[in-house]
Every structure is written in structure tokens, then in C-alpha cells.
Amino acid sequence: MIGADTSFLIDFLKGDEAAILWMEQHKDNLCICENIIYEFLCGNLKNKQSDIFLGFISQFPVFSFDRKAALKSSMLFRNAKRKGRTVAHPDVMIAGVYLSNSISRIITRNSKHFAELPIETLTY
């Protein structure tokens, strides 16, 4: 499985050709985490856009930020901090959800956001 990042879903739903092509080729392996849903819905969306997004994501497995993800995320954050690196909490939490569910790859436009984390970033 491959975890989706918010940037990928934004680009896909805006009609970005590269994101659409990637989705066509990999949609059967894509999953989402609740953190992504939160980030996406925090954007400047009209009610109809929110409804379209929620309908669209219903076809994918969705993982929650649970205790296992919290423990993994905090460990990832501390490890980066010990190395003098900073990672934004939303990004480390997204990676923590995926990694705690044995998902080691994420599709994103912002690979540098995950550069300090032990997750493979895929771009489109």
C-alpha cells in the first residue's frame, strides 16, 4: 500500500495531469489517514467540494491516528530532534500513522517535508 499525502490529493482533485496519471496507475494500492482528511478539509472549500472529497475518499482504506500511531510519531519526532532536525508535527503524524500500519511509502508533492523520516516518498 501507498499512503496519500494532502498535496497529492489536492493536485489530483484540481486536475493535475501527473497526479491523475499516477492515480490511474496506482489507485488500487492507495490508502489515506484521518490526518489527511483533516488537513484537506481545513482548506478553503465550499460545502459541495467537501462532499465530493468525502465521497471520493470513501473508496480507499482509511487509517486513524490511534495510540500505536501516536507512539510511532513521537518516536520519529524525538529521533529527528536528537539529530538536530525539525519535522512539522502534521507531517510526522502522517508518517507515524502510515508506518504504524506497515505502510512505508507515501505519494507527495512535498518530499522534503518527509526527508528526515524513515518513509519512502514517491513523487508524480
Domain 2-122 homologous superfamily, CATH: 5'-nuclease (3.40.50.1010)
Q: What cell was used for 20?
A: 491523475
18-27, 45-54, 90-99, 107-116, range with the lowest pLDDT: 45-54
Q: Read off the pLDDT band of 124 (50, 70, 90).
A: very high
Distance of alpha carbon 41 from alpha carbon 84, whole angstroms: 32
**pLDDT tens-place string over residues 52-83:** 999 999 999 999 999 999 999 999 999 999 99
Main-chain dihedrals φ then ψ at residue 63, nearest 5 degrees: -105, 145
Q: What residue ranges do the domains of the chain occupy?
A: 2-122
Q: Between β-strands 120-122 and 62-63, what pairing exists: parallel, antiparallel or unpaired? A: unpaired
Give me the mean pLDDT over the 112-123 stretch.
95
